[in-house]
Amino acid sequence: MEDKTVAPNKVITLSYQLEIEGKETPAWFARPMRVSFLLGRDPLMPIIEQAIVGAKEGEEITVTIPPEQAYGPYDKNLVQEISLDQLKNPDQVKEGEYYQEVTPTGRQLMFLVLAKKDGKVVADFNHPAAGHNVIMKIKIDEVREATAMDFAACDMRNCGSG
């Protein structure tokens, strides 16, 4: 019977969900995700790798990722006042909500609306998790031995160490 313990050179499939500690987590940030990787070969945050090594298939783990390893500190310089007429959809700007659009150059523009007044908006361009711990709830869905094809696919992705 195959050992279902998370270890280097095994293919791990896990489901996870993120939360921001101490504040409401936006739905787009908290949506459930699923990922597969070759442990020790595909890039993975060390804090997550340390948390899952030795876990068994089916196990659930919660990891607290500090700001400096997640989205960094909150930067007050990323709070700026901008004119509503610079935005494509100024009617969609609502205090306390995220505003999002694609710029003419194809760049994604997103910010939290702190205030809206006198034809201007106070926009917070910090990531919602900046300055906060990120809670990662992980479920180990599958653990299996890596095949030659898994190693070859990893090499083709230019894998480094985990």
| Secondary structure letter of residue 27 according to DSSP | H
For 82-111, the pLDDT digits (tens) are 999 999 999 999 999 999 999 889 999 999
- How many domains does the chain divide into? 2
Structural domain span for residue 89: 76-124
At 155 the pLDDT is 77
The CATH number of whichever domain residue 118 belongs to comes to 2.40.10.330
Low-confidence ranges of the chain (pLDDT < 70): 158-162
The CATH number of whichever domain residue 41 belongs to comes to 3.10.50.40
Both 10 and 32 in one domain: the answer is yes
Both 87 and 110 in one domain: the answer is yes
Cβ contacts of 145 within 8 Å, gap of 6 or more: 2, 10, 11
Both 105 and 80 in one domain: the answer is yes
Distance CA 122, CA 117 (A): 8
At 162 the pLDDT is 45
Q: What is the pTM of this model?
A: 0.83
At 154 the pLDDT is 80
Residue 85: Cβ within 10 Å count: 8
Both 17 and 59 in one domain: the answer is yes
Both 111 and 83 in one domain: the answer is yes
